[in-house]
Amino acid sequence: MNLSDPEFDKQAYFKRLESLIYLLLMLPLLAFGWVFLEKNKAGDLRSVFFDNPDLMFHGVMGIGVGYIIMRTTATWNRDMRKATEPFKELDVKLKMLRKPILYRNVLWAFGAAIGAYGLYEKGDMVYAMVFTVFLVLMTANRPTGRYFAKLLKLKGEERQWMER
């Protein structure tokens, strides 16, 4: 197993990255909570999506959500493995993945904000599902040793070190 810095603390790295990711989620989460409570108090929540829909609004929101999901899930893992492949040191690979992971989570936070804004503007509960999709994406892909071992397709000693 190769490390360029034998003092590299992967647990601290994971915690810092995870803290930044959850910090990115805070604003859309607060907005969603506030909008949901206000719409519920006013009785403006609608569970029927096709009842008098605003097709232009929903279309634009759908395009935004679709773009974010395609941009961050379709080929992202393969591209990250390809970018880190020339490097043998695991700590270098982890440091290289920091910005792309933050960028992907910024996009997911933006997608969650789309869900909160759609709920605010139209009151359709479909936007609660949109928000939930991005919330699940952010929490399921949080930076842990197991996540990085799977992302980088590590085996043997490297996998054990990463997951410890």
- The mean predicted confidence, pLDDT, of the chain is 94
> HEC states along 96-146?
HHHHHHHHHHHHHHHHHHHHHHHHHHHCECHHHHHHHHHHHHHHHCCCCHH
Q: What is the pLDDT of residues 6-59, one digit of tens each?
A: 899 999 999 999 999 999 999 999 999 999 999 999 999 988 777 777 889 999
> What's the confidence (pLDDT) of residue 46?
87
**Assessment of whether the complete model's pTM goes beyond 0.75:** yes
> What's the confidence (pLDDT) of residue 61?
95
Torsion of CA 97, 102, 108, 112, to 10 degrees: 160
Q: What is the residue extent of each domain of the chain? A: 16-38+53-163
Q: What is the pLDDT of residues 127-147, one digit of tens each?
A: 999 999 999 999 999 999 999
Q: What is the pLDDT of residues 93-116, one digit of tens each?
A: 999 999 999 999 999 999 999 999
User: Beta-carbon neighbour count of residue 68 at 10 Å?
Assistant: 21
Token pair in block for residue 164: 């410890």
Residue 2 has pLDDT above 90, yes or no: no
Between CA 27 and CA 79 the distance in angstroms is: 29
